[in-house]
Amino acid sequence: MSDVKTRPPEAAKRGRPRLDELTTSDLESIPALETIIGYRLRRAQLYVFQDFIESFTRMKLRPAEFSVLSVMARRPGLKQTEIAEELGIKRANFVALMDSLERRGLAERRKADTDKRSHSLHLTPEGVKFVRKMMAVWTAHEERLVEKLGGPEERDRLIELLDRIVARD
């Protein structure tokens, strides 16, 4: 009662493939997105970041900020550009990020006396305390992931494979 144009009857039920497009015979060999590395990688990364973000909403901390605080905790005194480059953040975009951490009293820029252009970056005492809490939250998040993966060995396997992708040679 609704089909006005002539058309194979089974094609009328929407949701069924219409084969009259121009035969998609060879297009049947198109890989499903499920088999595409980049697609799966992205979905997994989105999932992990989602969990991470939710874990840190209460602390008002975003992934990039987490990474910066981590580096400052382990290697205080690095210059802005050094940290930015290591984390793959453009130094132009690093400024606002560092401004925010400084405004919150978690980190500070110190004028380096050997090079008046650069700033060396450090956690404040308050920042140190913050990082301790941050790491506790992170540990819970990470353990959740390791469990989903099936144990620490699987985590290591995953990281090793990811390494191969990103290794430049």
By CB under 8 A, the residues from 93 to 132 that bind its own copies are 112-115, 118, 120, 122-123, 125, 128, 131-132
Residue 162 binding its own copies, by CB under 8 A: yes
Considering only the stretches 107-115, 132-140, 145-153, 155-163, report the one whose residues sit in contact with DNA under the rule CB under 7 A.
Answer: 107-115
In this structure, the number of other CB atoms found within 10 A of the CB of residue 119 comes to: 17
Q: What is the DSSP letter of 35?
A: G
Strands (E), 13-162: 107-111, 119-123
Residue 100 binding DNA, by CB under 7 A: no
Which of DNA, its own copies, none sits in contact with 48, Cβ below 5 to 8 A by type?
Answer: its own copies
- Measured distance CA(76)–CA(92) in Å, rounded: 21
Site map (CB under 8 A) of its own copies, residues 4-43, x = contact: x-------xxxxxxx--xx-x-xxx-xxxx-xxxxxxxxx
Which of its own copies, DNA, none sits in contact with 91, Cβ below 5 to 8 A by type?
Answer: DNA
Instruction: List the helix and strand counts (H, then E) for the chain.
Output: 7, 2
Out of 104, 108, 109, 155, which residue is the one contacting DNA (CB under 7 A)?
109
Q: Which residues of 69-91 are buried (b: 16+ CB within 10 A; e: fewer)?
A: bebbbeeeebbbebbbeeeebee
Interface residues with DNA (CB under 7 A) are: 62-64, 79-81, 88-96, 98-99, 109, 114-119
